[in-house]
Every structure is written in structure tokens, then in C-alpha cells.
Amino acid sequence: MSFTILGQHNCVYFGPTNEPNAVRWWAERGQIHYEDSRTNKYEALSVRTFLERLSAISDMIGNGKKKENQDFMYADEIERHVRFLEDGLQLAKIAKEQGMPQDPRVRKQKASEITRPVLIPAALTKQIFGH
């Protein structure tokens, strides 16, 4: 079973059947990231690559045109995979809204966010530092 908390943290948990929460997927900075808690593997995928993987899963569970892939999974496994496909499409949508990292406009905006000075009001400075 995939466990979705898209509304709260934009994360989807989908791992192997015996450890369904072992792999955490999320959208960040226009890419899809995943982390496998069993091996501590981390990787970031482009939205296109992630969608290709989702398409392969869809074909695998019998939604494609190939007849040889149909009827080899139990219904609960198919349901689990379909839920991940739906959640994965939401992650891809979120990542697309964030903008692709290769887009010059997105890179310029990210750079300005990083280099933008932080202004702290004098009253707050007095509270923090006592000056």
C-alpha cells in the first residue's frame, strides 16, 4: 500500500510489498526525488524520466497494449500500483509547477532568492541581541 500525505508534505511512500514505506518520493525544485531507507540511496529524476517510469508501471499492470503483462498480479497489488500512479502524477504536476531547473528564468529566480539580503527590523534585533 502506498501511503500518501500529498496535502501535508507532498510525499508519497511506495516501496516493495514487504516494506511499502521504505521508499519516499517527493517533488522539489522541479524534480522528483526519492530516498530508499533500506539502502540510504538518494536520487533526483527529471519529471520526464519519472513519467516514463510511471508509464512503464502502467504497462506492467496491464494498462498498456501488451497482452503478455496482463493478469499476473493480485488485485491488491494492482490497486497499490494504481494508487502510486495517481500519486506520482500529482508529484509530477507539483514539480512542473515549481519549474524545471534547466529553465534560465527559474535559475535566475532561485539565484535572486539565495542572494536576496535578509532584513531584520531594529526592534527585533534588540529583542534577539539585547542591543
Joined grid coordinates for residue 122: 531594529
- Are the C-beta atoms of 88 and 54 separated by less than 8 Å? yes
How far is Cα 3 from Cα 61, in angstroms, rounded to an integer? 19
Joined grid coordinates for residue 103: 529553465
Is residue 94 within a helix (H) or strand (E), and if so which, with residue range? helix 75-98
Average pLDDT of 78-107? 84
Residue 32 predicted with pLDDT over 70: yes
Joined grid coordinates for residue 64: 498498456
Residue 16 pLDDT class (50, 70, 90 cuts): confident
The C-alpha R_g of the chain, in whole angstroms, comes to: 20
More confident residue, 4 or 90: 90
- Quote the crossing angle between the two packed helices 75-98 and 47-58, to the nearest 10°: 160
Residue 126 predicted with pLDDT over 60: yes
Q: Is the pTM of this model over 0.85?
A: no
Coil, strand or helix at 32? strand
Joined grid coordinates for residue 5: 500525505
